[in-house]
Amino acid sequence: MQTLTAIVTALACLLGSPAQSHSQDWGVVQTSTMLHRTHYVAPVMPQVAIDNRIEGFVYVEFTIAIDGTVKDLAVVQAQPIAIFDEAALAAVSQWRYQPRIRKGEPVEQHAMQRLNFNLPQT
CATH code of 83's domain:
3.30.2420.10
The pLDDT score that the predictor gives to residue 10 is 43
Query: What's the domain range around 44?
Result: 2-117
Total domains, the chain? 1
Is 34 among the domain residues?
yes
Q: Maximum Cα–Cα distance for the chain, whole Å?
A: 51
pLDDT confidence of residue 28? 45
What is the predicted pLDDT for the residue at 31?
63
What DSSP element (H or E) covers 53? none
61 within a domain of the structure (yes/no): yes
Residues 6+ apart with CB under 8 A from 19: 8, 9, 12, 13, 28, 29
pLDDT of residue 40: 96
Within a domain: residue 41? yes
* Residue 122 within any structural domain of the chain: no
Ranges under pLDDT 50 in the chain: 1-28
